[in-house]
Structure formats: structure tokens, C-alpha cells
Amino acid sequence: MQQIYTRQVPIQIPVLAAGKGWLAADKPNGMTVHNESGRDICSLAAALVQGDPALKSKIAVDPDFGIHPVHRLDKETSGVILLAANREMFRFFSRQFESRQVKKQYVAILHGRLEAPEGNTPWGSWQWPLAKTAGGRQNPQGPSPRQHCETRFRILDHSMHYTMVEIEILTGRIHQIRRHAKLAGHPVVGDGRYGSPRALKYLQLHHAFDRLALHALSLTLYLPDGQTPVAIQTPGIPIQMKELFENDSALNPPKQFNITQEF
């Protein structure tokens, strides 16, 4: 675990994997990827690499390129973010995202009891078309024209008021999981854009829960010179999400599942 110190408090930026020209980090919720110079994940990762001789030697950042994200991750969402440190690695990984070779897995807590899909498969699918631009609480699909989108989900467990799901996105629209969950009638817990203001206030007052309950658990993709896909994943569900779900399950004990095994 590495730490970057600001004038206020230390910000922990765990490095999950790294190689020449790239690294994968576990982004905290509430942190932008690259829009706040000095405070975003790219800035902090650059400072971390610069201050760690072993990591600096391993990654070998191209000073003319710096560190840039290969894909998007909402400010409110925590989890795996892949960063490139030279143009060659940026192009290498970008091609995999563009050709949909990358498997992106999330875990989320949704409001209400989402039922399992009918039939023998544990996987359900949301396929509402979405606009390229972000929607809102009243119109999560966004204005026309809208494009095809697909989000797969699998129910992991239910508590008294919530459903924990594994999610895989097969397309890449902005806020896709959050918008599809809202359209399904089960918005992501803690979602200030698509959820209920009343629910947000309740969570803050009674559970001190002040984040979006959406975590990018893993990315499965090819690494340079690799012959088979490799999964880069975080240690598990963030503690704040885990505690909210477990506390809500006091009258309905959840199944014992290992999230890293489930995924």
C-alpha cells in the first residue's frame, strides 16, 4: 500500500499491477481520473511513481507523455483504473477497449429487491438504448438519438432493503450502469444524480453512508507479451459498502460468499 500526502490527510493509492509503460490503481470514490490537476488519480499516480525508485524504474514513464487513463471511470465510482505511461502502451490497451476485448466487472448495491431472471441462466440483461450524453433522474435515457446498450447482471444476495449484484457492461456509455439500474426501478444506492434525494438523506443521517455503492472490481485483458487474458482486480468490496449491506441484513442474514471467488 502506497501513500501520497497532501496538506490535509494522506490519500492511499494502491497499485494493483504494473509493467513497463503502464500501471493499474485502485481509485477511491470521489476522486476524478484526470480533471483536477494535483488531486486526480493521474496526478497522484505520477507523484507516487516519481517518489518510489523501484516503481519508477519498473514503469519507466515517458516524460513527454506522462500518465493518462486508458478508459473512463466516474468520479463517484471506486475501483480498477488502467493508466498508460507511454504512447505505445496507451495504443495497445486502447485497441482492446475499442474492440470490446476487455471484460469489465463491477459490484453494486441496488435499492429494493431485484428478482433473478426467469429460466435456467443466473444472468439477466438490461438493454435500454441510451444517449451519448448523461441523463438525469427524470430522463435517465437522455435525449434522442440513443444508441444500443447492454448491461448484464447477476444477483449475489438480498438484504432487507437492498440487492447486491455483479455487473458486466458490454457497451460503454456514460453512467451506463447507473442509468440502466434507474430504468430497472432499482437505482444504485447513494446515487446523487439518478437516485432519490430522500434516500440519500436517510443514508447519510442513519448510516453515515456518503458514497455511490458501485465498485469496479476487475478488468480482464491482455498484457504486453501475454498469450492469455489476465484479471486485474481489487481485494474486494469497499468496507463502507460491505458494512451497509451487512447491517441491513441483521434480520435476514446474507449468504456467505467470497466476492473474489464469485467473480
Report d(CA 125, CA 219) in Å as an integer: 20
Give, in order, the Cα–Cα distances in Å from 64 to each of 67, 85, 224.
10, 10, 21
Name the nearest CA neighbour of 168 among 75, 262, 31, 258. 262
- From the list 40, 74, 157, 248, the catalytic residue is 74
Full 3-state SS string of the chain: CCEEECCCCEEECCEEEEECCEEEEEECCCCCCCCCCCCCHHHHHHHHHHHCHHHHHHHCCCCCCCCEECCCCCCCCEEEEEEECCHHHHHHHHHHHHCCCCEEEEEEEEECCCCCCCCCCCEEEECCCECCCCCCCCCCCCCCCCECCCEEEEEEEECCCEEEEEEEECCCCCCHHHHHHHHCCCCECCCCCCCCHHHHHHHHHHHCCCCCCEEEEEEEECCCCCCCCEEEECCCCCHHHHHHHHHHCCCCCCCCCCHHHHC
Classify strands 123-126 and 151-158 as parallel, antiparallel or unpaired: antiparallel
Task: State yes or no: is 225 an active-site residue.
Answer: no
Report d(CA 29, CA 191) in Å as an integer: 12
Positions annotated as catalytic residues are 74
